[in-house]
Amino acid sequence: MSGIAGILKRDGGPVPENWPSILEQTLLLSSSRTYRFEDSIPIQNGSLHILLLGSGSGSRIGSGTKDGVREICDGEDWDECAYAHWHEETLQLELGRRGTGRKPLYWLDLDEVGDGLLFSSNPMPLLKIAEELDLPTELQQGVAEYLQLGYAVEGGALLSPICSMPIEEKFQEICTGARAVEAGIASTPAEDLKTLVTILGKPFADYTLLSKLWQYRSAKDKGIAVLDGTLNPTDSVSPFLERILQPSGTALLHKAHRAAAKRIELGVLAEYVGVQLHVSEDMEPIPPVSFPMSSWLKNPVSSLGVLAEKTFECPEAFCGLPIEQDACRALLNSHQRGDEEHGEQIFALLTLLLWRLQVLA
């Protein structure tokens, strides 16, 4: 067990005497070894107070470096930890988490009662201090919901006011032949379908390719995390990565080769599809993820339903094709009314028309 905690007070007012002890007592529950750094710095409007606490064999506190940075870390190494950096020259506190998020970190904004914040690996001391200050808190309700449901409901928060750190989606532009494809997280199945038509460069009738695309994307993200060293390889990820990297001859999963492996274009979704669709039968197959393709096409407000209607109404999509537009629209209308099941035919027609529009573009 280990943990970190601290106080930053910037309004020139004194730190209540019981706050450090509340934070420190929580850390002492997990270890008899406690590390402490405390300082008070004169500023224009009074003084700035900083307190850093760390406990447990997995935590450490720096003694100050030539760059003037104090650090405490909850974790055995910097690959998987929660940390706090105090920059003595700029008087800035940096909080963060690295790795896959196994080390918790909570902080309480004191904006309503003073300029500053408190942070801790355990939310309970922050709750106690918030109650002393009469700050609004939803911790009790949030804990009750979590214990009953096993998850926190949407819109709920354990601490309020709460500081959140947004997670930004990262997109990578890569080249597949003569086409540039943005291999990111599409917002809808319709966008994924158009991306897949672009990657393959031809129409197709096998709708399970759409579910395979989602699996490849997930495997790609896990693969990058493995090569970055932030995720340990599992039995389900390692065979997939080995198939992808086999043509390159690059050693896999060895730390000495990770820097080189990261330069491999793991984001090329077309390469994923090409490798997976041509693996020999003795290779372990990845079963397709089931999804209600027919129901999506039947629903006029779903992304695939909207895409089908717009595409079937587009005269340019039928340009040069020996297909009657009116007959295709009648087929879609019959499927949406529930008269007959035409899901597979509509899906195949949709990929054909999308491909045609991309060729004409």
Q: Is 84 part of a structural domain of the chain? A: yes
Q: Residue 152 pLDDT more than 60?
A: no
Single out the residue in 245, 277, 309 at which a domain terminates: 277
> Dihedrals φ, ψ of 170, to 5°?
-110, 130
Q: Residues 166-189: what's their mean pLDDT?
A: 40
Q: How many domains does the chain have?
A: 3
145 pLDDT band, cuts 50/70/90, is low
Q: Residue 348 pLDDT more than 80?
A: yes
Indicate if 97 and 215 belong to the same structural domain. Answer: no
Q: Residue 204 pLDDT more than 90?
A: no
Indicate if 95 and 21 belong to the same structural domain. Answer: yes
333 pLDDT band, cuts 50/70/90, is very high
- pLDDT at position 322 is 85
Of residues 78 and 324, the one with the higher pLDDT is 324
Indicate if 47 and 117 belong to the same structural domain. Answer: yes
Between 188-192, 200-204, 283-287, 332-336, the lowest mean confidence (pLDDT) is in 283-287
Of residues 128 and 152, the one with the higher pLDDT is 128
Single out the residue in 231, 250, 277 at which a domain terminates: 277
What does the angle CA 12 – CA 18 – CA 21 come to, to the nearest 5 degrees? 115
218 pLDDT band, cuts 50/70/90, is low
For a pLDDT cut of 70, what percent of the chain falls above it?
52
Q: Is 127 part of a structural domain of the chain? A: yes
Given a contact cutoff of 8 angstroms between Cβ atoms, the answer to whether 54 and 3 are in contact is yes
Cα separation, 6 vs 169, whole angstroms:
30
Q: What is the DSSP string of 11-42?
A: SSPPPPTHHHHHHHHHHHTT-S-EEEEEEEEE
Indicate if 329 and 215 belong to the same structural domain. Answer: no
The amino acid at residue 3 is: G
Q: Is 156 part of a structural domain of the chain? A: no
Q: Is 224 part of a structural domain of the chain? A: yes
Q: Residues 118-143: what's their mean pLDDT?
A: 74
Of residues 260 and 156, the one with the higher pLDDT is 156
Maximum CA extent, the chain: 83
- pLDDT at position 334 is 92
Which structural domain, as residue segments, surrounds residue 301? 293-360
Cα separation, 160 vs 135, whole angstroms:
8
- pLDDT at position 247 is 42
Run of H or E including 337:
helix 325-337
Indicate if 26 and 77 belong to the same structural domain. Answer: yes
Indicate if 189 and 327 belong to the same structural domain. Answer: no
Q: Is 40 part of a structural domain of the chain? A: yes
Q: Is 288 part of a structural domain of the chain? A: no
Q: Residue 185 pLDDT more than 80?
A: no
Q: Residue 180 pLDDT more than 50?
A: no
Indicate if 264 and 304 belong to the same structural domain. Answer: no
Run of H or E including 274:
helix 269-277
Q: Is 161 part of a structural domain of the chain? A: no
The helix-helix angle for 343-360 and 303-312 (nearest 10°) equals 60
pLDDT digit string, tens, across residues 6-62: 898 877 777 888 898 888 877 765 555 567 788 877 766 667 888 888 876 555 555
Q: Which residues contact 185 (CB under 8 A, 6 or more apart)?
A: 169, 217
- pLDDT at position 171 is 37
Cα separation, 293 vs 305, whole angstroms:
10
- This prediction has a pTM of 0.41
What does the angle CA 333 – CA 336 – CA 338 come to, to the nearest 5 degrees? 110
Indicate if 234 and 207 belong to the same structural domain. Answer: yes
125 pLDDT band, cuts 50/70/90, is confident
Tokens of 241: 């990565």
Indicate if 125 and 238 belong to the same structural domain. Answer: no
Q: Residues 84-96: what's their mean pLDDT?
A: 82
Indicate if 15 and 141 belong to the same structural domain. Answer: yes
Q: Is 286 part of a structural domain of the chain? A: no
Single out the residue in 133, 149, 165 at which a domain terminates: 149
Of residues 342 and 135, the one with the higher pLDDT is 342
For a pLDDT cut of 90, what percent of the chain falls above it?
7
Q: Which residues pair with 162 in a beta bridge?
A: 108
- pLDDT at position 148 is 54
Indicate if 63 and 143 belong to the same structural domain. Answer: yes
- pLDDT at position 104 is 79
Q: Residue 127 pLDDT more than 60?
A: yes
Average pLDDT of the chain, as a whole number: 67
pLDDT digit string, tens, across residues 247-303: 444 444 444 444 333 333 333 333 443 434 333 333 334 444 445 778 888 888 888
Indicate if 7 and 144 belong to the same structural domain. Answer: yes
Most confident of 69-73, 204-208, 259-263, 333-337: 333-337
Q: Residue 130 pLDDT more than 60?
A: yes
